[in-house]
Structure 1
Amino acid sequence: MSHQAYKTAATRAETPREMEYRLFGQVTRALMHAATVDESDVATRIDALDWNRRLWSALATDCSDPGNTMAKPLRAQIISISLFVGRHSSEIMRGEDDFDALIDINRMIMQGLATEVPSAA
């Protein structure tokens, strides 16, 4: 019970930006781990790739919503990245590429999320 109360309190204290950063961190760590396991450990590799693909799919779905207030060019870029993530994930599973590009993309997004946004004075 106390663990759930702590979890609820922590969630309330996080901004959406911080929550996104934390989620990207978790997914990126899973990708980094999957990159180090033997190729025969298909379950670990698939789990990390699927989690990352689902994250990017959710972002693309949100960006395709007409009610989304982000700038259209940024929304289009996020959708494009999501499509790339899907294609690249398939290439990794076929043994045609490695995890590096996906890890780099997620790290760049995390850097952007970590940047302080100046508040309006």
Structure 2
Amino acid sequence: MYRISYAEIINDSSTEMREQERLALDHAIELLTRAEEQGPNSDEAVQAVLYLQKLWGFLIKDLSDPGNELAEALRGNLISIGLWVIKEADQIMQQKSKSFSGLIDVTRSIRDGLA
């Protein structure tokens, strides 16, 4: 008979969630890179910014959940980063900024940290 412990199931679930987060961040990087190539007034820019804001909205909500098992300090830092990303994306949408490089760099760093 095959026995799986609860801890193994939770660990597998956590691994799957981390992989999904990594894929979502990869997609954001792809969109941001295309937006950078096409410029801040392009349809690609709008698509990238909206996706990024939606993604970080979801991540911030998850990080704010009391059931989130990450260390409190790490959660706070990630929430701060997420709020910065949303603010920077707003700056692009409001045509107060034209650079996607900071958003791309931060998103890559967060994605790489999930490895």
Structure 1 length normalisation: TM-score?
0.75
Query: SS at the partner of 2:96?
Result: coil
Query: SS at the partner of 2:95?
Result: coil
> What's 2:24 paired with?
23
Give the 3 Å change call, closer, same or farther, for CA 39–69 of structure 1 in structure 2: closer
* 8 Å Cα contact 2:52/2:86 also seen in 1: no
What's the offset of the Cα at 1:16? 2.0
What's the offset of the Cα at 1:56? 0.8
Query: SS at the partner of 1:15?
Result: helix
What's the offset of the Cα at 1:79? 1.1
| RMSD, matched Cα | 1.8
**2:81 maps to amino acid:** I
Query: Do residues 69 (structure 1) and 69 (structure 2) align?
Result: yes
The number of equivalent residue pairs is 101
In 1: Cα distance, 2:40 partner to 2:102 partner: 17
What's the offset of the Cα at 1:54? 0.8
The runs of 5 or more residues in structure 2 that have no matched partner are 1-12
- What is the percentage of aligned positions where both structures have the same residue? 34
> What's 1:102 paired with?
103
Structure 2 length normalisation: TM-score?
0.79
The runs of 5 or more residues in structure 1 that have no matched partner are 1-11, 115-121
